[in-house]
A and B are shown apart, each in its own frame.
Chain A
């Protein structure tokens, strides 16, 4: 049984997921209301938000982020509370998929849309860091 100390990483996973959840909710709401996200001096949100990639079959792309982050958060909490390694393994697989999709989205922003949205980048950071923490937690918890 893994100790509570190791399982604290579950809280880190859940915290990153919560940050991702808030960002994706914000981006989804702005998309649905037809307003533009507050972008700061960097710009780029407008271009990314207006691009065809900001929707998938009429659903805002960010809405999928809400689903992803919610599940990641639940898995992180499950690991922290119960030490159930299956939660960690599920988070690993999901995180790997999320990481690769995120890499594709970054590619789109850099080379297809030619604009980087700072909110999307921040969301991507929560996905990548979340997955790295899952990997760390797996290494610390013996099978």
Chain B
């Protein structure tokens, strides 16, 4: 008969090794505890980190999407368009209208966009269509290359009798400044949208005379003291602001009616008739 030994490690060396291992394990447990939540995996920190990174990725993705280059965006059609029957070159309205509203603008300027989308339609309804006033557009292309390119393109549309349609499209498609909203491709797409002859349009774009005309008019605006856009003149009187109450009050004053028009919201004092700046009254558009 042989005697069985249930616990084999009996030597002193083996016992010490076992104690060492146990001490080490205890130390590691203590260390992990002292680290707070860092004993991975199984810690909620893992999942929270993944969630944090995922949320950040979604936010950055949304940011990139809403700010994607204008080139990737479709051409927007303008909500309100200038009435074609009143169009004559860069003038909108009847030639014999007693009041002339000169608008100096840059196709990239956000304020000009606001004026075109929100204020000009009211002026057209209340004064231009009834034959009381006419609007004349002037280039003040000062916000960079795409301002100049857009102004050149609008003049090329004018050669085909579509300045105002093109103008409305440009303001409906503003997107940042010099970031591709008015790249050549986009300008050609807008030309197609307003049904321009592509060959004539393209050769006009490349004609240095068109560029010179834009630059000359911008220079003229600068010389007559324009420093920002939109700058509005009513019968040669520079307006303090481009909001509807200001401009309509000036038109009423020029018409001699003095009464506010139906859609005037809120009274704004009429700008005092200050002497017109050097070079005014502004010439009418071509």
A residues within 8 Å of B by Cβ?
Answer: 50-53, 56-57, 89, 92-101, 104, 138-143
Contact = CB atoms under 8 A, between A and B. Distances in A.
B98 interface: no
Nearest to A139: B36
Contact of A140 (B36, B43, B177): B36
Contact of A51 (B35, B48, B59, B176): B176
A33 B180 CA distance: 27
Contacts of A96: 48-49, 52-53, 56
22 contacts: A51-B176, A52-B67, A52-B176, A52-B179, A89-B44, A89-B48, A92-B48, A93-B48, A93-B52, A93-B55, A96-B56, A97-B51, A97-B52, A100-B53, A101-B56, A101-B59, A138-B45, A139-B38, A140-B36, A141-B36, A142-B34, A143-B37
A74 B63 CA distance: 26
Contacts of B38: 139
A57 B67 CA distance: 9
B242 to A, nearest CB: 14
B209 interface: no
Interface in B143-186: 175-177, 179
B43 to A, nearest CB: 7
B57 to A, nearest CB: 8
A56 B60 contact: no
Interface of B is mostly: helix
Interface string B26-69: 00000001111111000111001101110111011011001100
B66 A56 contact: yes
Interface of B: 33-39, 43-45, 48-49, 51-53, 55-57, 59-60, 62-63, 66-67, 175-177, 179
Contact of B56 (A53, A57, A100, A138): A100
Nearest to A108: B63
B43 A143 contact: yes
A138 B60 contact: no
B89 to A, nearest CB: 33
A52 B52 contact: no
B69 to A, nearest CB: 10
Given A52-B179, A56-B62, A92-B45, A97 B53 contact: yes
Contacts of B34: 142
Given A93-B49, A95-B52, A138-B36, A100 B60 contact: yes
- Closest 4 A-B residue pairs measured CB to CB? A96-B52, A100-B56, A93-B48, A97-B55
A101 B54 CA distance: 11
Contacts of B53: 96-97, 100
Contacts of A57: 66
Given A56-B62, A96-B56, 16 more contacts: A50-B177, A52-B67, A56-B66, A57-B66, A89-B44, A93-B51, A94-B55, A96-B52, A96-B53, A97-B52, A104-B56, A139-B38, A142-B36, A143-B36, A143-B37, A143-B39
B67 A138 contact: no
Contacts of A139: 35-38
Contacts of B62: 56
A53 B67 contact: yes
B241 to A, nearest CB: 13
